[in-house]
Amino acid sequence: MEVIITRDYNEMSLKAAAIIAEQIKKKPDTVLGLATGSTPIGTYKELIRLHKEEGLDFSKVTTFNLDEYLGLSSLHKESYNYFMWKNLFKHININHENVYIPKGDVQDAEDFCHWYEEKIKEFGGIDLQLLGIGSDGHIAFNEPGSSLMSRTRVKTLDEQTIRDNSRFFRKEEEEVPRFAITMGVGTILEAKKILLIANGVNKADACAKFIEGPVTSQITASALQLHQHVTVVLDEEAASKLKRIGYYNWVRDNKHLVQKYLGR
């Protein structure tokens, strides 16, 4: 796991977008796993800028989103489908047929989850998965206690997640859905590369636990320690409770010295 500590949210967003852009340039038909929430908005803004000003081409890219609220239609303004089109897809040249987002208003959720897993396999798996992290250490909607081998499924949301997400809904907690369709931890771990981004002091505890603590289902992001290619980009606030900040910064500042030995 490579941990990159940046000064602030803007620098975190620029770094994350640069990593995604590099992946697309190396493999134009990249399969991206994408996340929602406030954290990746800056990253998506920079990807849009790279497309419009520097010609970053999304025409062959396929995307799979992590999750969606169960019971919300794709047109609902708080659905993740609506979020993705508003904040990224309508601003880039992606083929609409290559965009996959879980359907919150599907009739048979269990059957849909199976279909979603098979569709990811059909495209050869996810090349680069973008993640955020919840304040309790969850990734996607894999709440504390979720199996580290879990697959795409319907998940009951934790009370903390409902509270955290209530700011997006008019009536706050009363209106937040209680269930979601989410990729499982096991599904996420099958991505070839993983990029997790986090900012703000409210994520500091979760970041310290998943990076430097034990692997546990109570902090589902800790399962990323088991993956061979994970990059974590944090701002200084999110990194503030890490014990090995000096080492992470040393690696960041000296990485260029080893590049000639890595064939990159």
Reported as type and span, the H/E element at residue 32 is strand 31-34
Residue of 46, 51, 68, 138 marked catalytic:
138
Q: How far apart are CA 81 and CA 90, in angstroms?
A: 12
Asked if 34 and 263 count as a contact pair (C-beta separation under 8 A), the reply is no
Provide DSSP, 60-84. T-EEEESEEETT--TTSTTSHHHHH
Sign of CA dihedral 69, 73, 74, 77: negative
138 is catalytic: yes
Looking at 46, 51, 67, 235, which residue is catalytic?
Answer: 67
Q: For helices 9-26 and 41-54, what crossing angle results, to 10°?
A: 50
* Rounded CA separation 112/81 (Å): 16
Specify whether 67 is catalytic. Answer: yes
| Token pair 């000296």: residue | 254
Gap between the Cα atoms of 95 and 56, Å rounded: 14
46, 117, 127, 143: which is the annotated catalytic residue?
A: 143
Contact 236, 203 (CB under 8 A): no
**Of 46, 68, 127, 136, which one is the catalytic site residue?**
136
CA dihedral 182, 23, 9, 3 (to 10 degrees): 90
What positions carry a catalytic annotation? 67, 136, 138, 143
